[in-house]
Amino acid sequence: MCKKHFIILVVLTSVLAGIAFFQGKGRVKDQEELSNLPLLFPELKDKLAEVTTLKIFKKLGVPKVTLVKNEDHWVVQEKHHYPADVKKINRLLLALSEARFLEAKTEQAENYAQLGVMSLENEKELDKGVQLEILGPGGTVFVSLLVGEYRMGANGGTHVRKPNEEKSWLASGELAAPALVHAWLDKEVIHIRPDSIQKVNLTPPKGKPFIVFKESLKEPHFVVADLSKKIKLSSEGGVDILASGLSHLYLEDILPKEAVDWKRQTAVTQVTYQLFDGLVVQGKLAKVKDKNILALQAFTEPTILKDGKDAKASLAEADNPATADTLDQFKTRLESYAYVIPGYSADLMRKRLEDFIDKTPKEETTPSNKVHPRPSPELKEKPKVETALSE
């Protein structure tokens, strides 16, 4: 390398290092520095308990998502007031109350699109970003913020801009507020542990109905009721998986129950789960326009085990929490909606008895040393002799 080229390289390296230094200057290096930076919304933390509504907009006018607090629970207004994901809402509110100004960004409107902090328009929805509003009693606006792109990394954060200000900022924290209604639904429909199930009754649209059950909590595996001695199952405990149908059952979407005309469905699977504590959950499952639709209802009936003990007492003795409050917790939800569930959950409820039967072909038990009789050559050549006995 010639001396001239070497000098040019040194100068360029120095310039780039200087740019990196000045860009990095002011970036947060540790938690102590972060705590000294100003908050986006200094008064929000003291008002979190007063928040009543969250609105997410993609254009001026009607919000894409409206989350409303009814007494002690949140609902998604656009989804028939179905329960919302409270943990997700609380994470967002807490993140906003703790968000701080990290770094000043552009004030030029033509550059807002790159950060996702453009102002809302009347007709066209934003390609990137949303406007988030957090309201209190009487519609008081606690927060109005344009939330843009999230930047990952050690000095990461979210690009934001207040609608009435020109300057945009990189703010601390992840302030994600998706404008998708289903993203805010409480996805877990119900969770009942498999070891709480005493009996499962499955009635497929085609094929014979069958029941699997346990006589007591102490039994390790379910057995098939009235199983013929000629039928062999593929594995011991194979049918145990049927008790998992209500374990962490999640939804993909919801519909009002009346939106599904069950009388018009020709291939409906019916399944009933009976718990040791007396709770019974019944389900109807059908495929409607390539979606697995499930309707549920729940009720209780007294259950006494073989040893004469009350089922709830037996559950307590087994250190297995009773699900007595499950009915109160989910009954209204179960009987008001129909659920679009994932394929793997639907497949589990559509199991048939044939799926658990051993189909291995039986081998012939012919001894290898067995001598097969052959006709004697003499008998073949010997003519038949007629006697008086043959008449």
What the block records as the tokens of 348 is 């589990």
Per-residue pLDDT for 13 more than 50? no
pLDDT of residue 363: 64
pLDDT of residue 207: 84
Among 13-17, 63-67, 195-199, 254-258, whose mean pLDDT is lowest?
13-17
Q: What value, to the nearest 5°, has the Cα angle with vertex 292 and ends 349 and 208?
A: 35
Average pLDDT, integer, range 197-214: 95
343 contact partners, CB below 8 Å, separation of at least 6: 292
Confidence of residue 6 (pLDDT cuts 50, 70, 90): very low
Confidence of residue 112 (pLDDT cuts 50, 70, 90): very high
Confidence of residue 240 (pLDDT cuts 50, 70, 90): very high
Mean pLDDT of the chain: 83
Average pLDDT, integer, range 320-329: 48
pLDDT of residue 245: 96
Among 28-37, 170-179, 377-386, whose mean pLDDT is lowest?
377-386
pLDDT of residue 30: 64
Per-residue pLDDT for 338 more than 80? yes
304 contact partners, CB below 8 Å, separation of at least 6: 310, 311
Average pLDDT, integer, range 323-332: 59
185 contact partners, CB below 8 Å, separation of at least 6: 76, 79, 82, 83, 84, 85, 251, 253, 254
Asked whether the whole model's pTM tops 0.85, one would answer no
Per-residue pLDDT for 285 more than 70? yes
Confidence of residue 369 (pLDDT cuts 50, 70, 90): low
Average pLDDT, integer, range 294-319: 60
Per-residue pLDDT for 381 more than 50? no
pLDDT cut 90: percent of the chain above it:
64
Average pLDDT, integer, range 293-306: 77
Contact 277, 303 (CB under 8 A): yes
What the block records as the tokens of 197 is 């199930």
What is the number of other CB atoms lying within 10 angstroms of the CB of residue 198? 25
Question: Rounded to whole angstroms, how far apart are CA atoms 297 and 269?
Answer: 14
pLDDT cut 70: percent of the chain above it:
76
